[in-house]
Chain A
Amino acid sequence: MDNRTETLLESYFANTLSEKDARELRDVLNSDPEAATELKWRQQIAQTTRQMKLSMPERTSAPAVVVPMWRSFSRMAAALAVVVVASGLLVYLLKKQPAVSEAVAANFEHYPNNMPFKALDPTAAAEYPAEVLRAFQLYDDPAQYPAAADALGAVAAKYPDHPEYVMYQGVALLGAKNYAAAAEALQKVTVSGTKYHTPALFYLGLAQSGAGNHKAARQSFESYLKDKDGVPFRKKAEAMLNVLPEE
């Protein structure tokens, strides 16, 4: 698709199309099936995104400004009272020190799939058994963590020369809130001597925190922070250390 068609489509969705441009776009759509299909695809994206909202960045704990849930009752004094009470409650909750379990949930993030076939590359995928690909396909969808943990556990047992499978299994178990099993799996990775051993320390700390083993969790986070490669999750590890009780 050429640049001009791109520009016309952009203008169409930004509602800045002039009548003349619209005629031009109509002609393009009639003569170029690829452009017509592209428009259909974008319309489907538009239809989907109409249901969606912008979301706050994950790493911030800042609250959104008051969401106008009351909009349909905006003229009613009773609703105003609800907003006032809700705002007070919101401020109270935000000020409250989060519990360890809340902090685990807040600081957990999906560990990126770094396998060679991660970039949807079927040529690299051809070198891996179907069961491995299936396990990682499940892993890529956070809603499927429990199934991914099972599938990754199976491939990790079958291919013990791939300790990285255990790492992803541990993260999936953690995502599924199966903390004790996650800690058991991740513990193995931290002593594996692979490139995964440093991030495994961070995830191990989360798993131990979730399992209530706060002392061990502190040690894991401290080890992570001391490690020269312990950079990507530094802020999160520090945040966890602030929340974990000193024992």
Chain B
Amino acid sequence: MNGPQDELALFRRNPDEGSKTINANCRPKFIRWGLDNHSIDGADLEDIFQNAFILMMQNIQGERLVQLTGTLCTYLFGIGKNLIRAFLRRHRRTDWLGEDTLPEQANGMPAATAEAGMMWQQTSDTLWQEVDALGDPGRSILILTYKEGLSAQEIADVMGYAGADVVRQLHKRARRDLLLLKARKVLDKASYELLFLSLKKEMKDDEIAQKLGLAGPEAVKKRRLECLEQIISTVSFYS
């Protein structure tokens, strides 16, 4: 091994062998470091390291990691530290909005009756398929934002993007595409078209009103809101 670039090149050539080395050498170091420096359970640290490893693989595959300044293990530590920071924030969460808008439940499923659980499964699965259909980077950005609780800057750091604004744009696009995928299934053609022109084509409300023959921009705004609420009502367990 002559340096970081050699290590990255070797890994690209033989990812199986590289993964084994990381698993044998870097993972125990990371877990030990995490246990020594943070009050996080070993199993959670395993999950965090696994996520760091997947992100590294995505960055290599997406050619966002083309140059190393240290070793791959140092790189993984960098990602892992960001994930740990978000993990700790998540576990110190204060619900400033005054209601438990995202209740934590066992296994993530709202505790309710069996019937309600089944409803949740059906509705949540529907959206799950659509999040999956987004592919990466949209899928990963949504998971890092909403499940892992990373900020746009932290996501830029762990996914190798130039800055928070790039991530915000990708995040916005992912949310928009997800909404349109859902809208296509739920809304009638006219409502879908209004949403499409507004979100995808980014047309102004007065232009949309003119194109679709609506009374004016206020009518467009009102209808858009109704569309969003209709979409939300079809996937919301809590409604």
Interface residues of A (CB under 8 A from B): 6, 10-17, 19, 21-22, 25-26, 29, 33-34, 37-57, 59-68, 71, 74, 91, 94-95, 119-123, 140-141, 143
Residues of B within 8 A of A60 (CB): 15, 57, 60-61
Is B196 in contact with A59, judged by CB distance below 8 angstroms? no
Q: Chain B CB within 10 Å — which of A34, A62, A68, A120 has the most?
A: A62
Q: Mark B16-44, 1 if CB is under 8 A from A, else 0.
A: 10111011000100000000000000110
With A13-B146, A122-B193 in contact, is A44–B236 under 8 Å at CB? yes
Spot the interface stretch: B1-9, B111-119, B127-135: B127-135
B16 and A94 form a contact (CB under 8 A): yes
Q: Which of B116-160 contact A (CB under 8 A)?
A: 124, 127-129, 131-133, 136, 139-140, 142-147, 149-152, 154
Please list the 10 inter-chain residue pairs (A to B) with the smallest Cβ-Cβ separation, ordered nearest first. A22-B96, A62-B15, A57-B61, A46-B146, A71-B43, A68-B46, A14-B151, A15-B89, A65-B23, A49-B147
B interface, how many residues as a size bin?
35 or more
> Are A122 and B196 in touch, CB under 8 angstroms?
yes
Please tell me which one of the listed residues A39, A68, A94 contacts residue B43 in the complex, with CB atoms under 8 A apart.
A68
Q: From A22, A56, A61, A119, give the contact of B16 (CB < 8 A).
A: A61
Residue from B97, B140, B154 in contact with A22 in the complex, judged by beta carbons closer than 8 Å? B97
Contacting pair A43 B196 (CB below 8 A): no
Report the nearest B residue to A11, measured CB to CB. Answer: B151
Distance in angstroms from A116 CB to nearest chain B CB is 14
The distance from the CB of A187 to the nearest CB of chain B, in whole angstroms, is 29
Interface string of B92-107 (1 = CB under 8 A from A): 1110111001100000
Question: Any chain A CB within 8 A of the CB of B232?
Answer: yes
Number of A-B contacts (CB under 8 A): 177
Partner of A53, one of B143, B175, B237: B143
Please determine whether A13 and B149 come into contact, CB atoms closer than 8 angstroms. yes
Report how far A194 CA is from B145 CA in the complex, Å: 42
Q: Could you list some 27 contacts between A and B, CB below 8 A? A: A12-B96, A12-B97, A14-B149, A15-B90, A15-B94, A17-B96, A21-B96, A34-B221, A34-B224, A41-B228, A42-B146, A44-B127, A45-B146, A48-B124, A48-B127, A50-B108, A54-B51, A54-B54, A54-B55, A54-B143, A55-B54, A56-B58, A57-B57, A62-B16, A71-B46, A122-B189, A122-B196
B218 at the interface (CB under 8 A from A): no
Residues B149 and A51 in contact, CB atoms below 8 Å apart: no
How long is the Cα–Cα vector from A62 to B49 in the complex, in angstroms?
A: 16
Please tell me if the beta carbons of B96 and A37 are within 8 angstroms of each other in the complex: no
Binding site for A on B (CB under 8 A): 15-16, 18-20, 22-23, 27, 42-43, 46-47, 49-51, 53-55, 57-58, 60-62, 86, 89-90, 92-94, 96-98, 101-102, 108, 124, 127-129, 131-133, 136, 139-140, 142-147, 149-152, 154, 168, 175, 178-181, 184, 189, 192-193, 196, 200, 221, 224-225, 228-229, 231-232, 235-237
Q: Which residues of A contact B196 (CB under 8 A)?
A: 120-122
Kindly name the residue among A41, A52, A55, A65 whose own CB sees the greatest number of chain B CB atoms within 10 A: A65
